[in-house]
Amino acid sequence: MIKIENLKKSFGELEVLKDMNVEVKPQEVVCVIGPSGSGKSTFLRCINRLEEPTGGSIYIEGNDITDPGNNINEMRKNLGMVFQQFNLFPHMTVLQNITTAPKRLNGKSQTEADKLGKQLLDKVGLADKADVYPDNLSGGQKQRAAIARALAMEPSIMLFDEPTSALDPEMVGDVLEVMKSLAKEGMTMIIVTHEMGFAREVADRVIFMDGGYIVEEGNPQDLFDNPQEKRTQDFLSKVL
């Protein structure tokens, strides 16, 4: 589904990603963990080209997203993204936040888009917030609305960039619940996270990154309970 080969990214002199190779199968949930500055967010942002890779290829269902010949806007419709800072559109109601893209980009009528939007709001537990502006939502509600907005384009892959890091602790659970139910439904997901408990429970595979490399990867039980690499052990001993 996703095949990343020799991905490199530098910001000027600073080499943030050094030769990343990752493959993600359909319906797989991959969690990326690692210390801050390890390049995990940059890695995620390269997958939909929010960051322009310096080298390598990223195949999404067979098409290389780094190929300038491919229509980036079309390819991004298939890659939902959820940000740490939510990035909801403050000048639109929650429902408008969700319906604008499917209406304009997927040719949905107002009625169809509204129906889809309400279904999605129901799914993330915000059915009563359709006509509210984002400023009047709590952090957890904002993030769930943002997930609904990304789902409205009916992507086959969802990318999460530290979705719970900006939330008050009591808000984290609701957002993780929504993500869990998505995983159960078979959504392909790549999640950059600091929630080790969540990663252990939901991930099919965990990738530990440090210094722009994949240091170690494996199923969550192996990686959390029996890490092979020294750096993984150090990191886990600090966060677990």
Q: How far is CA 106 from CA 136, 157, 185, in A?
A: 28, 17, 22
Tokens of 231: 């750096």
157 vs 177: CA distance, rounded Å? 18
Q: How far is the CB of 235 from another protein (least distance, A)?
A: 28
Q: Collapse the DSSP code of 115 into the 3-class scheme (helix H, G, I; strand E, B; otherwise coil) and give the result.
A: helix
Where does this chain touch another protein (CB under 8 A) — which range of 12-20, 22-30, 85-93, 190-198? Answer: 85-93
Decide if residue 158 touches another protein (CB under 8 A).
no
Q: Give the amino acid at 76.
A: R
Where does this chain touch another protein (CB under 8 A) — which range of 10-18, 148-156, 165-173, 211-219? Answer: 148-156
Using the rule CB under 8 A, which residue among 34, 39, 56, 80 binds another protein? 80
CA atoms within 13 A of residue 11's CA, in its CB half-sphere: 8
Using the rule CB under 8 A, which residue among 6, 25, 26, 89 binds another protein? 89
237 vs 221: CA distance, rounded Å? 15
Decide if residue 61 touches another protein (CB under 8 A).
no
Residue in this structure with the two tokens 């589904």, named with its chain if needed? 1
In terms of CB distance, is 64 or 204 closer to another protein?
64
Using the rule CB under 8 A, which residue among 77, 118, 194, 200 binds another protein? 77
- Which residues on neighbouring strands pair with residue 209, listed in sequence order? 214
Provide the mask over 105-144, with x wherever binding to another protein is found by CB under 8 A and - wherever it is not: x---------------------------x-----------
Where does this chain touch another protein (CB under 8 A) — which range of 4-12, 77-85, 176-184, 232-240? Answer: 77-85
- Say if CB 51 and CB 129 are below 8 A apart: no
Q: How far is the CB of 148 from another protein (least distance, A)?
A: 12
